């Protein structure tokens, strides 16, 4: 009988194992995690800022086309002597003149307009490049928030499990008469606080995912690349003298200065009056004869000589030059601050994730064993568990700070695109 029961049990076990294997082989594979690069690529295609930057480039290129156009000619018609007395009664003495006026720009106005338009086009292209790196920075920061929130939720859930185990252990000790009921109440308070912290962490994670999905342009429901947060590569070091040369920010300041320089050139060219010339034909109704005429007109710069416009353009050029110097100082200071923050955060992350975490885990493990065996009190256990939780959270926070500082540093040191790209 026992042999039959054992055979039946073995057969049922084999069937269960086979079914489990079939389920494992037929179950759909887990979705791959959404990486940071994938999130940035998705956000770049749907970001309104990118659309605005492309529209600015199109507008600047259209402005370049407009700047290269020459002034339109003017066709004029004049009829004289259409009414009067004697010979000029009616239209018998009318004189009709048809002429074409062609403006001739002098002083290099057209080339100056083209230079301004080219400078503005370059500035718009740089603005598009800045928008691109800004989008990457924004998505990176939101991605860091989401990954760190998920890691904090995992830690909070682990602490909730530990708090429940501690509560069960306290109940056993109290019922066995080995501890005061106060220990059970204290453990219950720790459990309630742990569950509340886990609930808060869950809400923060949901909010972080929603914010990331809004920026990416699609809901973020799958897993994230949690291991990416642990990447601590490079040591930037504040000992290196930061330089703003070749960065996007300084290139944008240079482009603003180039626009201002072109504006000064355009303002100076406007001081030279243009000449309007044109041929014409005049018909005399009385004799039915025609005559050819030629006109030329030049404005007299009596009230507006253009000197004020040149002064205004020169002042704007001085402002752009001063702004460029300020940009260099600000960028170099920001680079140094970001390097220092990244290095400090990396140091804290390595310490919190290395010896400090190992020591707190070992202390908590010993405290649990000692509490079960009655060698340690509950306060020692709670203190060890609290230290472990704080160390884990500190490690997550330090990694998040490091990744944020690294992202800002990459944004500050983003190279300017080569001319013509």
Given a contact cutoff of 8 angstroms between Cβ atoms, the answer to whether 257 and 268 are in contact is: no
Expressed in angstroms, the distance from the first to the final Cα of the chain is 85
Integer Cα distance of 359 and 14 in angstroms? 44
What's the half-sphere exposure (Cβ side, CA atoms, 13 Å) at 12?
6
> How many other CB atoms sit within 10 Å of the CB of residue 225?
17
Largest Cα–Cα distance of the chain, in whole Å?
148
Q: What digits encode the pLDDT tens for the residues 177-186?
A: 777 788 788 8
Three-state secondary structure call for residue 131: helix
Q: What is the pLDDT of residue 240?
A: 61
> How many other CB atoms sit within 10 Å of the CB of residue 125?
22
With CA atoms as reference, report the closest residue to 400 among 408, 419, 385: 408
pLDDT in tens, the chain (421 residues): 334 333 433 443 343 334 444 433 444 556 788 899 999 998 887 788 889 999 999 999 999 999 999 999 999 998 887 776 666 666 667 788 899 999 999 999 999 999 999 999 999 999 999 999 999 999 999 999 999 999 999 999 988 988 888 888 778 878 877 777 887 888 889 889 999 999 999 999 999 999 999 999 889 888 999 988 888 765 544 456 678 888 999 999 999 999 999 999 999 999 999 999 999 998 887 778 888 989 999 999 888 889 999 999 999 999 999 999 999 999 999 999 988 888 888 888 887 777 777 888 888 888 878 777 777 777 777 778 888 888 888 889 989 999 999 999 999 999 988 765 4
β-strand 74-80 against 289-297: which pairing, if any?
unpaired
What does the angle CA 246 – CA 132 – CA 258 come to, to the nearest 5 degrees? 45
> What are the angstrom distances between the C-alpha of 291 and each of 95, 98, 190, 280?
10, 11, 109, 9
With CA atoms as reference, report the closest residue to 371 among 209, 187, 227: 187
Helices marked H in 271-306 — which ranges?
none
With CA atoms as reference, report the closest residue to 117 among 265, 316, 246: 265
Q: At what angle do helices 248-269 and 307-353 cross, to 10 degrees?
A: 180
Q: What digits encode the pLDDT tens for the residues 81-122?
A: 777 666 666 666 778 889 999 999 999 999 999 999 999 999
The beta strand positions in 216-329, using DSSP E, are: 275-284, 289-297
Q: Give the pair of three-digit tokens for residue 78.
A: 């004049």
Given a contact cutoff of 8 angstroms between Cβ atoms, the answer to whether 209 and 150 are in contact is: no
With CA atoms as reference, report the closest residue to 361 among 194, 158, 195: 158
Integer Cα distance of 348 and 342 in angstroms? 10
Integer Cα distance of 80 and 262 in angstroms? 46
Integer Cα distance of 141 and 14 in angstroms? 51
Integer Cα distance of 416 and 421 in angstroms? 10
Integer Cα distance of 276 and 295 in angstroms? 8
β-strand 275-284 against 74-80: which pairing, if any?
unpaired
Helix (H), strand (E) counts: the chain: 9, 4
With CA atoms as reference, report the closest residue to 122 among 258, 261, 320: 258
Given a contact cutoff of 8 angstroms between Cβ atoms, the answer to whether 242 and 338 are in contact is: no
Q: What is the pLDDT of residue 86?
A: 64
Q: What is the pLDDT of residue 286?
A: 74
Q: Give the pair of three-digit tokens for residue 359.
A: 């020591």
Integer Cα distance of 108 and 103 in angstroms? 14
CB contact set of 292 (below 8 Å; sequence gap of 6+)? 279, 280, 281, 282
What does the angle CA 400 – CA 401 – CA 407 come to, to the nearest 5 degrees? 90
Q: Is 288 left (phi over 0), alpha (psi -120 to 50) or beta?
A: left
Integer Cα distance of 130 and 151 in angstroms? 31
Q: What is the pLDDT of residue 91?
A: 66
Q: Which residue has the tokens 């994230």?
A: 224
Q: What is the pLDDT of residue 90?
A: 64
């Amino acid at each position: 009988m026992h042999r039959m029961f054992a055979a039946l049990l073995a057969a049922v076990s084999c069937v269960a194992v086979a079914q489990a294997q079939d389920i494992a082989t037929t179950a759909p594979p887990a979705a791959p995690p959404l990486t940071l690069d994938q999130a940035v690529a998705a956000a770049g295609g749907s970001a309104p800022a990118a659309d605005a930057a492309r529209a600015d480039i199109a507008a600047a290129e259209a402005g370049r086309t407009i700047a290269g156009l020459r002034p339109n000619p003017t066709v004029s018609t004049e009829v004289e002597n259409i009414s009067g007395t004697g010979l000029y009664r009616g239209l018998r003495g009318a004189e009709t003149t048809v002429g074409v006026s062609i403006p001739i720009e002098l002083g290099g106005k057209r080339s100056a307009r083209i230079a301004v338009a080219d400078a503005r086009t370059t500035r718009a292209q740089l603005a598009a490049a800045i928008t691109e790196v800004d989008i990457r920075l924004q998505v990176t920061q939101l991605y860091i928030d989401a990954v760190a929130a998920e890691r904090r939720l995992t830690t909070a859930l682990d602490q909730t499990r530990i708090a429940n185990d501690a509560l069960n252990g306290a109940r056993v000790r109290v019922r066995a008469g080995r501890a005061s009921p106060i220990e059970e109440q204290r453990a219950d308070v720790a459990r309630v606080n742990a569950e509340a912290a886990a609930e808060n962490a869950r809400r923060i994670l949901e909010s972080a995912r929603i914010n990331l999905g809004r920026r990416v342009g699609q809901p973020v429901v799958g897993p994230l690349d949690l291991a990416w947060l642990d990447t601590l590569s490079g040591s930037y070091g504040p000992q290196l003298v930061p330089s703003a040369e070749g960065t996007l920010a300084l290139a944008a300041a240079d482009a603003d200065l180039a626009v201002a320089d072109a504006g000064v050139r355009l303002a100076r060219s406007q001081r030279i009056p243009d000449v309007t010339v044109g041929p014409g034909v005049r018909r005399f109704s009385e004799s039915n004869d025609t005559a050819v005429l030629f006109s030329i007109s030049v404005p007299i710069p009596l009230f507006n000589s253009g000197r004020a416009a040149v002064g205004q353009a020169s002042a704007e050029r001085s402002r752009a030059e001063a702004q460029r110097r300020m940009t260099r100082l600000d960028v170099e200071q920001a680079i140094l601050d970001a390097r220092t923050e990244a290095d400090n955060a990396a140091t804290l992350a390595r310490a919190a994730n290395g010896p400090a975490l190992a020591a707190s885990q070992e202390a908590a493990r010993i405290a649990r064993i000692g509490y079960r065996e009655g060698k340690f009190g509950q306060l020692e256990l709670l203190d060890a568990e609290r230290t472990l939780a704080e160390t884990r959270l500190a490690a997550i926070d330090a990694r998040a700070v490091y990744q944020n500082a690294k992202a800002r540093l990459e944004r500050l040191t983003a190279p300017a695109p080569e001319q013509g790209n």
